[in-house]
Amino acid sequence: MSSSFKAFVTSSKFNIVCVFIPIALFFSFSGAPATVVFTLNFIAIMPLAKLLGFATEELALMSGPTVGALLNATFGNVVELILGVIALKDGLIRVVQASVMGSILSNILLVLGFCFLLGGVGRVEQQFSMTAAQTSSSLLALTTLSLLVPAAFSATADTAEEAEIGILNLSHGTALVLLVVYGLSLLFQVRFDLLFKEDDDEEEPTTTMTFSFLSLFAVAGLVSIHADFLVGAIEGVVESWEVNETFVGVILLPIIGNAAEHVSSVTFAMKNKMNLSINIAISSSLQIGLFVTPVLVIAGWIFGQPMSLFFEDFETVVLFSSVLIVNYLIQDGHSNWLEGTLLLASYTIIAMAFWFHPTTAFSG
């Protein structure tokens, strides 16, 4: 047990940020201002997300490729799931939708952009698996379709009431379809070995299965506490910082769950391990689009919250355009620093658009 604990604590230099966990809890329970509570819990969740990823990877190494893929699908985006479920229970549907959108955009534009840019510096080009990239492109296109159809449905419905009821029913059905597709995509990847891989020796687990399970649930519990305080402080942050809740969801919240993944992905790219790098960025986006989003729609169904796949027209157009440019860039199996610059430029334009875009007043 001691060796497992040591491996857990020393799994990443990023773990030093865990010092903010007790600080965030102290200020949160003591009734500090919303901006302080939001900032401290924002920082505290990031190392916890990294530890969740480590525990999940350890369990995956012990369980074999099939079970490991299922574990990664279930727990790989547990931070986003926890944040989403808590926000849903508080009725913050727009924040949930924005965070889902932001997670996809940050992975395919920001992370992938930095991977191409920093990995391509000093190199003419880098290569990765074209077959797996094309599979990912198709799944990203399906994710976009699942949001385009409700938007088109809303635009062509005769009345607002008909549109609202129809979109909610359509979203529930589509969510079930997407979950089936995601399960089949996992089976396809495992069976035909299309996961992005490098020709490295297989890693060995450094913790016991019992310790990994216990640490997974303990860290998930801590994430839930911090997420509850974080979501509760959003309204105060919106008022104090004079930003809209959509910007908070699209730009700020995705940083929490993806910060550790972002660093890992870019590090692999700089080492010219592009298959691993692309896998982290693209697979995370697919998990959000085909797994997390449908689960949140179903959770809203259970909670009696009208969580649907109808995003605002502006957000749907942004996602469609982003997936289009990403699919165009990755389908040839090659990347360079200029392509990375294009992706980062796209993300910067989108971030500015969400900052300046007029939205309705915060409703919580």
> What are the structural domain ranges in the chain?
2-356
Contact criterion met (CB below 8 Å) for 122 and 337: no
Would you state the pLDDT for residue 321?
93
If we measure between CA atoms, which residue out of 61, 114, 129, 75 comes closest to residue 284?
75
Is the four-CA dihedral 181, 182, 186, 192 of positive or negative sign?
positive
> Thinking of the domain 2-356, which architecture would CATH place it in?
Up-down Bundle (1.20)
Assign residue 129 a region: left if phi > 0, alpha if psi is -120 to 50, beta otherwise?
beta
Q: Which residues contact 97 (CB under 8 A, 6 or more apart)?
A: 249, 307, 311, 315
Mean model confidence pLDDT for the chain:
84
Give the amino acid at 352.
Answer: M
pLDDT at 128: 85
Helix and strand numbers, DSSP H then E, in the chain = 17, 2
Please, which residues bridge with residue 126 across strands?
Answer: 335
Digit-by-digit pLDDT tens for the chain (364 residues) are: 678 888 888 887 778 988 999 999 999 999 899 999 999 998 998 888 888 878 877 887 787 655 665 666 566 677 788 888 888 888 888 888 888 888 899 889 998 999 999 999 888 899 888 777 788 888 989 999 999 999 888 888 777 777 888 999 999 999 999 999 998 888 777 666 544 454 444 567 888 888 888 888 898 889 889 988 988 888 888 888 877 778 888 888 887 766 666 777 888 888 888 887 887 788 888 888 999 999 999 999 998 898 999 988 888 899 999 999 998 888 888 899 999 999 999 999 999 998 888 764 333 3
- Produce one character per residue of 193-229: b if its CB has 16 or more CB atoms within 10 Å, e if not: ebbbeeeeeeeebbbeeebbeebbeebbebbebbbbb
Residue 102 phi, psi dihedral angles, 5° rounding:
-65, -35
Q: What is the pLDDT of residues 122-170, one digit of tens each?
A: 888 998 887 777 888 889 899 999 999 998 888 887 777 778 889 999 9
**CA atoms of 21 and 298, how far apart (whole Å):** 31
pLDDT of residue 363: 38
DSSP type of residue 334: E
Q: Residue 87: its pLDDT value, please?
A: 86
The residue whose two tokens read 């942050």 is 237
Residue 267's pLDDT is 81
